[in-house]
DNA sequence: GTGCCGTTGGCAGCAAAGTGCCACGGGCTC
DNA sequence: GAGCCCGTGGCACTTTGCTGCCAACGGCAC
C-alpha cells in the first residue's frame, strides 16, 4: 500500500489527529517530515485541543532555533516529546495502534523534488510489532525538557577521564594518582562535574551520568 | 502478505540464516517463537558456523532454566543477546534489512492450537523504519551476560524509597528524617544498596542505577 | 622586565559518609 | 517462662569527601 504526494498523506493523517480514542505516535529524524510539516503542526495546534501524542526525534531536531520553538509549542500543547541518542532513519513513522504510515526512508538530496512516496500498513502484526519496538525505544529516550534544561553537558576530554575513574569506584586518592594529578585538582574536577551535571551529591551525579548514557559514548 | 503454518515459516527463515551478507535480527518476548523453535535453534547452531545475529528479548525469557541454557549456547555461537526492560509484544520480529517476518501478535491462550499466522513484508520503508526502531531499542537494552552476572538487582519497596531519596541529592541526615528512620539505619540501607548494585562508591551506584533505568520504573 | 590571569597543589578545617560494637525490643519456637 | 533470631537505633571512631585560603608556576600582553 504505497502512494505518492503530500495531499494524500495529509488526507490520511487528518483523521488520525482527530480521533480521540487512541494516542498516536510519531518517530522522525527531524521536523522535515514532509514539505510544510511545520506549518501543518502549528495549524493543528492552534485549532484543536490537546492531541494525545508522543514524538520521538533525533538530536538533529534541536539544531535549528525555530524548530526548537516549534517543539516547545508542541510540548505546551500536551504532546510528549523525547530525544533519542540512537540515529533514526531519515524517514518518519506515524503509528496509531491500528495504522502506520512511513515516508520514503532515504532522502539523500533534500533538493530532489518530485512527490514523495508514502507507505501505509494496517496489518495488525506489523503495527503491533512496530509499536512494541517504539515503546522500547521511547523508554530509553530522554525527555525534551530534560534534554534542553540540562544544557546538555559538554564533557571535554579531561572531565571525561575524571568521569571514567569516578565510575571505576576507586577512592579519590588512587584516582588522582592514576590521572597524574594532585588530590586537590582531582576533587576540583569532580566538583566541576557535579556542577555541569547539576547534581548535589556524587550519587546524583552518577545517576544523571547513567541516565544520559555518558558512559557508553 | 500473510501465510499460515510453521513449515512455510521455516522455509522463509532458512535462506535468511544462510545468507552471510547481512546480519539478521530477532525481537521476541520469549523463546516460544513457534512450536519447536528451541530445537530449530539448537539444530542450526550445531550445524552451521557463526550466524551474525542480534536478539532482543524480554526478561521473561530468563524464567525457564533450560531456556537460559539455550541463550547461553546462542551467545557462545557469536549471537549477541540483549534484554530490555520494556515489555515487548508477544509476537516475534525477524528482520534482515530487506525482509521482515512477524508472528501473530496476540497469543492469549497458548493452548489455542491451529496453525499460526505469519506476516511478511519486504517494503523498504517498513523494514528500514522498523530497523531504526530496533536500533534504538537495542541501544538501551542490557547485554545478556551483564544481566545474568549482575544477578539482576531486586529492588524491594524499602530500598526503592532509599534510592529515591538518594536520587534527590539531600544529605543522609535529612533523607533519614524524611523516611522516618534513624541515620544509622538509613546508612545501612545505602550500604545494602551498594552491595546489590555491586558498587564501591555512591557515584558508581548512581551510575549503575541510571544505566539500568531504575529510576524510571 | 612588570603586571595580570588562569591553573595547580599543599594545607587546614570541617562536613559527610562508612562501620564496628553493643543494647533494646518484637516475634518466634520450644 | 527462657532462649533465639532479626531488625533497629545510639554511640564512637575512622575514613573519605568537600572547600577556603594561599603560595607557586606558566603564559601572555604591555
The CA distance from B44 to A166, in Å, is: 44
Instruction: Give the residue whose CA sits closest to D18 at C1'.
Output: A187
Query: Of all nucleotides in the shown strands, which has a C1' nearest the CA of A194?
Result: D18
B217 at interface of A, judged by CB pairs closer than 8 A: no
Give the other-Cβ count within 10 Å of A38's Cβ: 16
Confidence tier at B202 by pLDDT (50, 70, 90)? very high
- A26-40, A67-81, A168-182, A192-206 — which is least confidently predicted? A26-40
| pLDDT > 70 in chain A, percent | 58
Does residue B203 carry a pLDDT above 90?
Answer: yes
Average pLDDT over chain A reads: 73
Antiparallel, parallel or unpaired: β A80-83 and A2-4: unpaired
Mean pLDDT of A61-90: 75
Confidence tier at A217 by pLDDT (50, 70, 90)? very low
B186 at interface of A, judged by CB pairs closer than 8 A: no
pLDDT at A101: 79
pLDDT at B104: 61
Rounded, the Å distance between the CA of A182 and C1' of C7 is 12
Q: Which comes out higher in pLDDT, residue B79 or B180?
A: B180
pLDDT at B204: 93
CB B209 within 8 A of CB A210: yes
- A30-44, A193-207, B98-112, B144-158 — which is least confidently predicted? B98-112
Query: A181 beta carbon < 7 A from strand C?
Result: yes
Of how many residues is chain B composed?
217
User: Mutate which of A4, A30, A92, A139 to disrupt the B interface (most B C-beta within 10 Å)?
Assistant: A139
How remote is the C-alpha of A108 from its chain's centroid?
Answer: 21
Does residue B211 carry a pLDDT above 60?
Answer: yes
Does residue B50 carry a pLDDT above 70?
Answer: no
Place of cell 535480527: B25
Q: Which residue of B has its CA nearest to A167?
A: B204
pLDDT at B47: 58
pLDDT tens string B132-177: 788 777 776 777 776 666 555 666 667 778 888 999 889 999 999 8
pLDDT tens string A40-58: 666 666 655 555 678 888 7
Confidence tier at A170 by pLDDT (50, 70, 90)? very high
CB A119 within 8 A of CB A94: no
The CA distance from B164 to B158, in Å, is: 10
Q: Find the CB nearest A167 among B118, B129, B204.
A: B204
| pLDDT > 90 in chain A, percent | 10
Rounded, the Å distance between the CA of B158 and C1' of C27 is 21
Mean pLDDT of B47-72: 73
CB A25 within 8 A of CB A33: no
Average pLDDT over chain B reads: 74
pLDDT tens string A108-162: 444 444 566 777 777 777 777 777 788 777 776 777 776 666 555 555 667 778 8
Does residue A26 carry a pLDDT above 60?
Answer: yes
Does residue B109 carry a pLDDT above 60?
Answer: no
Count Cβ neighbours within 10 Å for each residue of A1-34 and write b for 16 or more, e otherwise.
Answer: eebeebeebeeebeebbeeeeeebbbbbbbbbbb
SS3 content of chain B, % helix, strand, coil (to 5): 50, 15, 35
pLDDT at A203: 95
Transcribe B68-106 into DSSP letters.
HHHHHHHHHTT-EEEE-SSPPPSSEEEE-SS-EEEE-S-
pLDDT at B187: 93
pLDDT at A110: 46
pLDDT at B178: 86
User: Mutate which of A84, A108, A194, A203 to disrupt the B interface (most B C-beta within 10 Å)?
Assistant: A203
CB A216 within 8 A of CB B138: no
Q: Which residue of A has its CA nearest to B126?
A: A102
Q: Find the CB nearest A133 among B128, B130, B205.
A: B130
Does residue B37 carry a pLDDT above 80?
Answer: no
Q: Judge: A130–B129 Cβ closer than 8 Å, yes or no.
A: yes
User: Mutate which of B108, B118, B203 to disrupt the A interface (most A C-beta within 10 Å)?
Assistant: B203
A18-47 residues touching B, CB cutoff 8 A: 27
- A65-79, A193-207, B193-207 — which is least confidently predicted? A65-79
For residue A161, what is the enclosing H or E element? helix A157-168
Does residue A216 carry a pLDDT above 80?
Answer: no
Rounded, the Å distance between the CA of A184 and C1' of D19 is 10
Amino acid at each position: 500500500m504505497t502512494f505518492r504526494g503530500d495531499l494524500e498523506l495529509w488526507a490520511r493523517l487528518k483523521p488520525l489527529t482527530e480521533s480521540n480514542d487512541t494516542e498516536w505516535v510519531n518517530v522522525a529524524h527531524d521536523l522535515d517530515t514532509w514539505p510544510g510539516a511545520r506549518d501543518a503542526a502549528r495549524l493543528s495546534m492552534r485549532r484543536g485541543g490537546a492531541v494525545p501524542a508522543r514524538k520521538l526525534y533525533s538530536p538533529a531536531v534541536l539544531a535549528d532555533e525555530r524548530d526548537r520553538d516549534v517543539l516547545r509549542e508542541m510540548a505546551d500543547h500536551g504532546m510528549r516529546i523525547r530525544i533519542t541518542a540512537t540515529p533514526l532513519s531519515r524517514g518518519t513513522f506515524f503509528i496509531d495502534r491500528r495504522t502506520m504510515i512511513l515516508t520514503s526512508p532515504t532522502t539523500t538530496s533534500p533538493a530532489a523534488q518530485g512527490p514523495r512516496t508514502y507507505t501505509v500498513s494496517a496489518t495488525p502484526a506489523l503495527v503491533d510489532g512496530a509499536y512494541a519496538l517504539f515503546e522500547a525505544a521511547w523508554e530509553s529516550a530522554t525527555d525534551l525538557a530534560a534534554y534542553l534544561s540540562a544544557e546538555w553537558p559538554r564533557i571535554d576530554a579531561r572531565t571525561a577521564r575524571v568521569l571514567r575513574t569516578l565510575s571505576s569506584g576507586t577512592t579519590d586518592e588512587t584516582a588522582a594518582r592514576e590521572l597524574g594529578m594532585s588530590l586537590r585538582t582531582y576533587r576540583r574536577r569532580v566538583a566541576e562535574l557535579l556542577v555541569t551535571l547539576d547534581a548535589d551529591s556524587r550519587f546524583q551525579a552518577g545517576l544523571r551520568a547513567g541516565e544520559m548514557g555518558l558512559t557508553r559514548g
